[in-house]
């Protein structure tokens, strides 16, 4: 009898990152015996329901494929799809599928590999959750010859740190308890704690050894810093009759590309690109519409929405709770006052709701 553990925890076979917190860490177990299906609730907080009836925890309940099965009262899923097939390839499926046909909510995507399936909201799932699933390889750095990168320098520990490329514009660094420390933009990293940074970060080992990220990661795209416009009148709503500057006008028309990228990703299947794990796929690759190949994922200079967002931050350190939606809403904003246009189609924006600046 085949068994699948379902829940939020990274150890589950079928991991669900539910932004509404309806799914427990270890919510239920699903069994398949030939064509027979059974489900068991593992004492979850919000329960497991079959045809609207909450099942008794720890009891094995037989179900048929026409039954309506939910985690909590309204998180639907298809029991048959959870087992999948033996020849499933690693991929990210499109999210523009209806609830009735697939059992997933509207903005969800599914990541599959030979170990587990991960279901997530492409806009609202936090980076720290997705990175639990990310198995992209690290480069270990140190004096010992069994490191991927060997540095013969007395200030470098035998096993100093490790680093990996999450997307072409994001890296993850971890100090391995080195004697002289690992520094990101002159801030000393805590030992054995992973931290994420934009590609423009300066990594130093010990007192003076600077890592050349481009040498270790040829595909990295260094994000230039392009802080948002901060005119002298930004602190208070401006006079709507005051003329926009050339920079403000140019910045507004650049938002057309941001909007097209955002809506374009909703309408295209996002294929998983080998070489990047799920965290990178969601925040850097699946987060943008692309036509194929790692070199084609940037639809505009600066690395798409994620690159634009990172370029506008003073710090290169990336928040653990960052979501794709956070990045979009921050950069899709009025060039004059910084008020977000939310999800209003670019073509319909005539003026800023807050400062009344007129763009058309």
Where is the domain boundary, 168, 198, 216?
Answer: 216
User: Higher confidence at residue 298 or residue 123?
Assistant: 123
Is residue 226 one of the residues assigned to a domain? Answer: no
Give the chain's mean pLDDT.
80
Is residue 314 one of the residues assigned to a domain? Answer: yes
Is residue 160 one of the residues assigned to a domain? Answer: yes
The tens digit of pLDDT for each residue in 124-149 reads 878 777 777 677 789 999 999 999 99
Question: Residue 181's domain spans which residues?
Answer: 136-216
Residues 118 and 199 in one domain: no
Is residue 90 one of the residues assigned to a domain? Answer: no
Residues 192 and 305 in one domain: no
Is residue 343 one of the residues assigned to a domain? Answer: yes
Where is the domain boundary, 198, 216, 234?
Answer: 216
How many structural domains comprise the chain?
3
Residues 116 and 18 in one domain: yes
pLDDT at 277 over 60: no
Is residue 74 one of the residues assigned to a domain? Answer: yes
Count of CB atoms within 10 A of residue 284's CB?
28
For the chain, report the end-to-end CA distance as a whole number of angstroms. 64
User: Higher confidence at residue 140 or residue 235?
Assistant: 140
Count of CB atoms within 10 A of residue 122's CB?
21
Residues 45 and 146 in one domain: no
Q: Which of 80-89, 92-101, 137-146 has the lowest mean pLDDT?
A: 92-101
Residues 116 and 164 in one domain: no
Residues 252 and 322 in one domain: yes
Residues 19 and 120 in one domain: yes
pLDDT at 212 over 90: yes
CATH number at residue 143: 2.60.200.20
Closest CA to 198 of 89, 105, 100, 322: 322
Q: Are 336 and 357 in contact (CB under 8 A)?
A: yes
Is residue 130 one of the residues assigned to a domain? Answer: no
Residues 150 and 49 in one domain: no
Residues 16 and 117 in one domain: yes
Residues 270 and 340 in one domain: yes
Give the tokens for residue 354: 């807050």
Residues 140 and 39 in one domain: no
pLDDT at 3 over 90: yes
Q: Kindly state the DSSP code that residue 350 receives in the 8-state scheme.
A: -
Residues 74 and 152 in one domain: no
Query: How far apart, in whole angstroms, are the C-alpha atoms of residue 212 and residue 209?
Result: 10
Give the tokens for residue 233: 């009148």
User: Is 149 exposed, middle or buried (CB count within 10 Å of its CB: 0-12, 13-18, 19+)?
Assistant: middle
Closest CA to 237 of 113, 353, 137, 109: 353
Give the pLDDT mean for 178-189. 97
Is residue 259 one of the residues assigned to a domain? Answer: yes
């Amino acid at each position: 009898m085949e068994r699948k553990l379902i829940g939020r925890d990274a150890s589950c076979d079928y991991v669900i990152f539910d932004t509404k917190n309806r799914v427990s860490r270890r919510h239920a177990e699903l069994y398949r015996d030939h064509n027979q299906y059974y489900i068991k609730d593992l004492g979850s907080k919000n329960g497991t329901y079959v045809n609207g009836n909450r099942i008794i925890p720890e009891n094995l309940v037989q179900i048929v494929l026409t039954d309506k099965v939910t985690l909590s009262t309204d998180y639907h899923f298809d029991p048959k799809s959870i087992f999948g097939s033996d020849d499933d390839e690693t991929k990210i499926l499109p999210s523009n599928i209806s609830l009735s046909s697939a059992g997933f909510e509207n903005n969800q995507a599914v990541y599959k590999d030979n170990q587990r399936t991960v279901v997530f909201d492409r806009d609202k799932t936090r980076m720290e959750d997705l990175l639990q699933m990310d198995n992209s390889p690290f480069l270990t750095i140190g004096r010992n010859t069994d490191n991927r990168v060997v540095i013969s320098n007395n200030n470098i520990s035998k096993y100093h740190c490790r680093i990996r490329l999450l997307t072409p514009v994001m890296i993850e660094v971890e100090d391995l308890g080195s004697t002289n420390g690992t520094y990101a933009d002159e801030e000393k990293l805590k030992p054995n704690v992973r931290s994420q940074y934009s590609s423009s970060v300066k990594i130093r080992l010990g007192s003076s050894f600077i890592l050349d990220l481009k040498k270790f990661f040829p595909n990295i795209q260094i994000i230039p810093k392009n802080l948002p416009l901060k005119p002298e009148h930004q602190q208070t709503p401006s006079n709507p009759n005051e003329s926009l500057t050339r920079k403000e006008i140019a910045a507004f028309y650049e938002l057309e590309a941001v909007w097209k990228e955002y809506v374009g990703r909703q309408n295209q299947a996002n294929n998983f690109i080998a070489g990047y794990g799920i965290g990178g796929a969601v925040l850097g690759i699946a987060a943008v519409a692309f036509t194929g190949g790692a070199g084609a994922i940037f639809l505009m200079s600066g690395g798409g929405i994620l690159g634009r967002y990172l370029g506008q931050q003073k710090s290169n350190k990336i928040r653990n709770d960052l979501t794709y939606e956070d990045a979009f809403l921050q950069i899709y904003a009025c060039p004059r006052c910084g008020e977000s246009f939310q999800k209003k189609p670019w073509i319909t924006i005539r003026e800023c709701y807050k400062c009344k600046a007129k763009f058309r």
